[in-house]
Chains A and B, each alone.
Chain A
Amino acid sequence: MHLVALVAIPALFGLLTLRWRAVPVQLGALLGGAALHLGLTAAAWVWRPAPLGDSLALDDVGMLFLSITSVLFAAAAVYAVEYLTAPTHYEPAKLHRFVPYLLLFLAAMTLVTTTHHFAVLWVAIEATTLASAPLVYFYRRGPALEAAWKYLMICSVGIALALLGTFFLAAAATAAGPGAPSLTLRGLTAAAPAMPRAWLRAAFVLALVGYGTKMGLAPMHTWLPDTHSQAPSPVSALLSGALLNCAFLGVLRFFQVCLASGDAAFARTLLTLLGFVSIAVATAFLFGQRDYKRLFAYSSVENMGILAVGVGLGGAATYGAMLHAVNHSFAKAGLFLLAGNVLRRYGTTDARAVQGAVAQLPLSGPLLFALFLAISGMPPFGPFMSELTIFQAALAGPSWWLGVAFITLLVVAALGLAGVLLPMLQGGAPAGSVPARERALAVAPPFVLAAVVLLLGVYVPGALADFLGRVARLVGGAS
């Protein structure tokens, strides 16, 4: 029941808000839905919910991504209240075009994290695209519509390939044993050792390309910078921090089947390769980037590459990747929320038109600087620790040069970020301008996220480290 409630409550609230458009109903449903979801997720840490058959179950991997999603949604919801009720520079925001889809988006992402059935997983990931597309074209302007169209077409096509991959896996399972194949994680991992290799490998390639499109791995990432830069800032925060992880989970589920088959080397090679391609491509686009929201979007492509490399390398690098998933999600969501505050103040996403953000935005400016340090992998923030873990594991592994390439690319990427962001932050305010009076609701959510990122860099609690170790072992790593 616990798992059903986790999915059904946001879905129900979403459907209700489609119907009732009164402002108190919309805001109540948004905050209430976020609070209930967060509460249920916290409760799941104490009392692990009982699985419903083999299809709906919460394992440690799902738990990790569910928790990230739930916390980020709560932060984005609180931020969105201020964002939607304050006058924007475009037009009076229409709550009923925002809140229902945000809640349905949460329901779909929750289903992704709680299902063990591969076809349901596919349905849920496609549902995340459909629920979030109206959020992307929230402003109904030309560029936003263009971004939404690319998002819909590219991701739907990618995901259609993932469905073909799912069917391939079913075909492989049919060949593996007598009787109708089961598409649950348990059934597939049991059948995996006897699966014909050609079908299993073809299935993994299709899933990696399909879900990898949604995850933003290069060269299938082309929708991502457009979508993340055109969506309203709280939506960008969720797309980057929560949705990309959910697509990553889709890839991980297929990877788990490859692991169970005893033939994971092929999958590891592909993950590492696509990961490096993503880091390299994203780094190239960080330099001289003119739009700071696109800058953060390309940084997401880079970080998804880091996750893929970590899982591809295995061993302690997988632990690092899981820790990095948490770090990146929190830091990037915080950055996108702060980008919303900068956009409010300056009225443009052009990085060169923004100067003296630290002086003009006395709270958001310094926070932006802190999270810039975090996402660039500087100590004492969390991403430094997780990237270091992956780097050390790569150096210790058989291909040490991969570790060298990894750290070189990350340093170059950090320089690219600094080249765009530091000029925005520095400089005095123009004469006669007064620093903005920032509203608490617009600053508190990114502040909390930044605090978590800082905390994870200084000290990872033992219980959390144990938990991440268990997650890493489930996806072929060691702690």
Chain B
Amino acid sequence: MTAFADGLLLLVLVTDLYILASSRLAACVRATAVQGVLLAALPLVLWGPGGGVPLVHLLLMSAGALAVKAGVIPALLLRAAREANARREVEPYVSLHLSVLLGAALVGLSLWLARVLVPPGDVAATLLVPAAFATALLGFLMLVARKYAVTQVVGYLMLDNGVFIFGQSLAGSLPVMVELGILLDLLVAVFVMGIAIHHISREFDHIDTRALASLRD
């Protein structure tokens, strides 16, 4: 299963970089949906039959991740983007080329970090920890390098996906209710952010976060 899991994680890294490089808002959001599908498959591939984790637990986790990360959240974000009449480009602070270069550097940093912090226990995939750190770090980059509220939520989502990937190394040690609770929190968070975007776009006629800079000392 190792090779298969590593292949999956490699695809996650590809989606990370694709999100960072894409100039279209809708493409960004659709890529997070693809990433959601990949993440939903991850528990099954890593801990599948014979992995020592109850199958019901794995299926619940997988279904939950699929519904939240690949279904509801991308739909919410696409609607928020449409409602807000956002222009279709992502409006970067940091140019797309530079973003990709920085992204590649961060992937390198993650590979190095994973050599320093070797996870205890027997994790099946060698790419698990680097992919987790890389996804989280690139999410951070999206958060600070893009102007639109929707793209900032995409960054937050990637950060959360990175944490989710790392969590897979602990599969089975968290009660399934708690894991679903974490997913539910993410869902509600994006929902509340979506409502905030709705109000912001009504108040300001756009969702450029530069307008959100009046509060200062």
Contact = CB atoms under 8 A, between A and B. Distances in A.
Given A164-B163, A181-B173, A142 B203 contact: yes
A285 B167 CA distance: 39
A126 B209 CA distance: 23
A123 B188 CA distance: 11
15 contacts: A119-B178, A119-B181, A133-B192, A134-B195, A143-B214, A145-B199, A153-B193, A156-B189, A163-B160, A167-B169, A171-B170, A175-B121, A198-B117, A199-B117, A294-B217
B188 A130 contact: yes
B156 A157 contact: yes
B160 A160 contact: yes
Contacts of B156: 153, 156-157, 160
A114 to B, nearest CB: 15
A382 B160 CA distance: 42
Interface of A: 117, 119-120, 122-123, 126-127, 129-130, 133-134, 137, 140-143, 145-150, 152-153, 156-157, 160, 163-164, 167, 170-175, 180-183, 196, 198-199, 202, 225-226, 229-230, 285, 289, 294
B152 interface: yes
Is the interface on chain B under 10, 10 to 19, 20 to 34, or 35 or more residues?
35 or more
Contacts of A140: 199, 203
A127 B185 contact: yes
Most buried by B among A123, A127, A147, A156: A156
A123 B117 contact: no
Contacts of B174: 119, 170, 183
Nearest to B174: A119
Nearest to B195: A134
A225 B217 contact: yes
A111 to B, nearest CB: 11
B149 interface: yes
A202 B211 CA distance: 36
B166 A130 contact: no
A174 B52 CA distance: 15
Contact of A130 (B140, B149, B189, B199): B189
Nearest to B166: A167
B203 A120 contact: no
B48 interface: no
Contacts of A137: 196, 199
A104 to B, nearest CB: 11
B217 A285 contact: yes
Given A140-B203, A199-B117, A174 B173 contact: yes
A173 B196 CA distance: 39
B182 interface: yes
Given A171-B119, A174-B170, A225-B217, A150 B185 contact: no
A172 B159 CA distance: 21
Given A130-B185, A174-B120, 19 more contacts: A117-B178, A127-B185, A129-B189, A130-B188, A130-B192, A140-B199, A142-B203, A142-B211, A143-B214, A143-B215, A145-B200, A148-B196, A152-B189, A152-B196, A156-B156, A160-B160, A160-B163, A167-B169, A225-B217
Interface in B148-198: 149, 152, 156, 159-160, 162-163, 166-167, 169-170, 172-175, 178, 181-182, 185, 188-189, 192-193, 195-196
B199 A174 contact: no
A105 to B, nearest CB: 13
A142 B201 CA distance: 10
Given A133-B192, A146-B215, A152-B193, A122 B170 contact: no
B76 to A, nearest CB: 14
Q: List 9 tightest A-B contacts by C-beta distance, closest first.
A: A175-B120, A146-B212, A226-B215, A119-B178, A174-B121, A123-B181, A126-B185, A180-B173, A164-B163
B81 interface: no
Given A133-B196, A148-B196, A126 B120 contact: no
A111 B196 CA distance: 25
A145 B203 contact: yes
Contacts of A181: 170, 173
A305 B122 CA distance: 40
B93 interface: no
Interface string B6-29: 000000000000000000000000
A148 B212 CA distance: 10
B112 interface: no
B24 to A, nearest CB: 22
Given A171-B120, A174-B121, A183 B215 contact: no
Contact of A196 (B120, B192, B203): B120
Contacts of B46: none
B120 A172 contact: yes
A139 to B, nearest CB: 11
Contacts of A152: 189, 192-193, 196
B173 A170 contact: yes
